[in-house]
C-alpha cells in the first residue's frame, strides 16, 4: 500500500495525520480467533484504544466477535445502533449503585466486580421477574477489580445470589500475560480453575491479547483481546506477529538552515555542532506525541530515518534533516513517526511507556483517516 494515498486525501489543513487500517484490524482479529481456537470478544474501551469505537466495533462485529467490552457505561451505550442489537456489550467497570435500570434500558451487561454488585443485580432481576445477563469477575492476582478470594469463597458457600442471574461468563484478568515466564500466570490459571470448580458451572472468559499467546492452558470459552487487534505486539521481546494498523504522519511547516552553535527550541536543549537543516513538523504533545520523546525519537521519510532534536513542544517538533538530500523534506510534505518499520511499541519504548498509551493518547486534533476493512 502506498502510504502517500491516504495522506493525499487528507485536507490541506490537516497537520498530524493518523492512518488506521481497518482491514488490518479485521485480519488481526481473525488471526487471534484462529490462535485461540474458541470464541473471542472485542475490547473497544477508550474509543477502541484511540482508533474510534464507532469505526472499529462494526468491523469486529462483522468478524463475529462474540461480545464487546468497554470500560465505562457511556462507552458501551454509545455503541447502540453502531453494532447489531444481538451483539452483547459488557461494561468492565461494573454496576455503579443506582444504575441498574440504566443497564436494562440500554441493554448492557455489567461485569459484576464484588458481592454487593452481585446482590444488587440479583435484586433487580427479582424485581423485574427476569434473569438479567451479566458477567462475574473473579480477582485471581490483579488486585484491581473483581471478587477477591474471601468474597469468592463466600459465593462458593452460598451461590444462591447467582441463581436468579444469567451469568454469561465468569472471568478473570491476567496481570503478567506479556511475560510468558512469569510465575503469576500459572498461579492465576490455577486459582481461576479452583474457583470455577467451587462455583456453579459457567462458561469462562480468561485470556487478553498476550494470554492467547500463552497457549492452550489459557484457552477459555471467550478470550478478550484488545491491543493485538490494533497491531500492538502481544509478545514483547519477540517479533510482532500482528499486522500493523496505525501510521502517524506529521506535516512539515518549515525547513531552515542553522549555523553551528545555534540552538533549537525551548530550553535551547539542542545546539547544532555543524551547519544543519532543521525541519519543523506540526505535531506536539497536544496531539498525543509525548514530550518525553524530546531528543529521543526518530522520524522517517521514504525509509530514511533522521533524529528528533530539541524539545517536543505543544504543537511543533523539530527534526535534523541534514543527512537527507536537499529538498527531500519540503514544507507541506509529511514525515512518518509511526509506520510499519517503527510501530507504536517502538515509539513507546523511546518515551518509556507502552504502545497502549501511545494509541489511546492520540488526540482528536490529529486528523484520522480510516482505510476500509
Ligand X SMILES: *Cc1c(COP(=O)(O)O)cnc(C)c1O
Q: Is 173 in the site for ligand X (CB under 6 A)?
A: yes
Q: Is 185 in the site for ligand X (CB under 6 A)?
A: no
Residue with cell 505486539: 233
Stretch that binds ligand X, among 125-133, 151-159, 222-230, 312-320 (CB under 6 A): 222-230
Residues near 109 by beta carbon (within 8 Å), at least 6 away in sequence: 67, 88, 89, 90, 91, 103, 133, 134, 135, 168
d(C-alpha 287, C-alpha 337), whole Å: 12
- Cell readout for 351 is 518515551
Geometric angle at alpha carbon 125, from 122 and 126, rounded to 5°: 90
| Sign of the alpha-carbon torsion through 328, 334, 340, 343 | positive
d(C-alpha 260, C-alpha 352), whole Å: 31
d(C-alpha 68, C-alpha 318), whole Å: 40
- Cell readout for 44 is 473497544
Stretch that binds ligand X, among 220-228, 235-243, 267-275, 361-369 (CB under 6 A): 220-228
Among 117, 140, 209, 240, binds ligand X (CB under 6 A): 209
Q: Is 225 in the site for ligand X (CB under 6 A)?
A: yes
266: annotated active-site residue: yes
Closest residue to ligand X using C-beta atoms: 226
Residue 295's closest CA among 312, 282, 271?
Answer: 312
Among 24, 227, 255, 373, binds ligand X (CB under 6 A): 227
45: annotated active-site residue: yes
Q: Exactly one of 49, 218, 266, 356 is catalytic; name it.
A: 266
If one counts every other C-beta atom within 10 angstroms of the C-beta of residue 28, the result is 26
Q: Is 43 in the site for ligand X (CB under 6 A)?
A: yes
Question: Minimal distance in Å, beta carbon 205 to ligand X?
Answer: 8
Contacting ligand X within 324-353 (CB under 6 A): none
Q: Is 294 in the site for ligand X (CB under 6 A)?
A: no
Among 36, 224, 311, 367, binds ligand X (CB under 6 A): 224
Among 70, 117, 140, 208, binds ligand X (CB under 6 A): 208
- Residues in touch with ligand X (CB under 6 A): 43, 45, 92, 173, 208-209, 224-228
Amino acid at each position: 500500500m502506498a502510504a502517500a494515498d491516504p495522506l493525499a486525501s487528507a485536507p490541506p489543513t490537516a497537520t498530524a495525520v493518523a492512518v488506521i487500517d481497518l482491514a488490518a484490524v479485521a485480519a488481526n482479529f481473525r488471526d487471534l480467533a484462529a490462535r485461540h481456537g474458541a470464541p473471542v470478544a472485542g475490547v473497544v474501551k477508550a474509543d477502541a484504544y484511540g482508533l474510534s469505537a464507532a469505526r472499529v466495533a462494526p468491523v469486529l462485529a462483522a468478524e463475529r466477535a462474540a461480545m464487546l467490552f468497554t470500560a465505562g457505561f457511556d462507552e458501551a451505550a454509545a455503541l447502540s445502533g453502531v453494532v447489531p442489537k444481538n451483539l452483547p456489550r459488557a461494561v468492565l467497570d461494573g454496576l455503579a449503585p443506582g444504575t441498574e435500570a440504566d443497564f436494562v434500558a440500554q441493554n448492557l451487561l455489567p461485569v459484576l466486580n464484588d458481592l454487593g454488585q452481585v446482590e444488587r443485580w440479583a435484586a433487580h432481576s427479582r424485581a423485574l421477574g427476569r434473569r438479567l445477563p451479566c458477567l462475574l469477575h473473579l480477582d485471581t492476582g490483579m488486585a484491581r477489580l473483581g471478587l477477591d478470594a474471601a468474597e469468592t469463597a463466600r459465593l462458593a458457600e452460598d451461590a444462591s445470589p447467582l441463581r436468579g442471574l444469567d451469568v454469561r461468563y465468569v472471568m478473570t484478568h491476567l496481570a503478567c500475560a506479556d511475560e510468558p515466564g512469569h510465575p503469576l500466570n500459572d498461579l492465576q490459571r490455577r486459582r481461576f480453575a479452583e474457583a470455577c470448580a467451587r462455583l456453579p458451572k459457567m462458561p469462562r472468559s480468561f485470556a487478553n491479547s498476550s494470554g492467547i499467546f500463552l497457549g492452550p492452558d489459557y484457552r477459555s470459552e471467550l478470550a478478550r483481546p484488545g491491543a493485538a487487534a490494533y497491531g500492538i505486539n502481544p509478545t514483547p521481546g519477540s517479533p510482532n506477529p500482528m499486522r500493523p494498523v496505525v501510521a502517524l504522519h506529521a506535516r512539515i511547516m518549515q525547513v531552515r538552515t542553522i549555523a553551528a552553535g545555534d540552538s533549537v527550541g525551548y530550553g535551547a536543549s539542542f545546539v547544532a555542532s555543524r551547519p544543519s537543516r532543521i525541519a519543523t513538523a506540526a505535531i506536539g504533545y497536544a496531539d498525543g506525541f509525548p514530550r518525553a520523546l524530546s531528543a529521543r525519537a526518530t522520524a522517517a521519510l521514504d525509509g530514511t530515518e533522521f533524529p528528533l532534536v530539541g524539545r517536543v513542544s505543544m504543537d511543533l517538533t523539530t527534526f535534523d534533516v541534514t543527512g537527507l538530500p536537499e529538498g527531500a523534506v519540503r514544507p507541506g510534505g509529511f514525515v512518518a513517526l509511526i509506520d510499519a518499520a517503527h510501530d507504536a511499541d517502538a515509539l513507546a519504548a523511546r518515551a518509556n511507556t507502552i504502545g497502549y498509551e501511545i494509541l489511546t493518547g492520540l488526540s482528536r486534533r490529529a486528523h484520522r483517516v480510516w482505510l476500509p476493512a
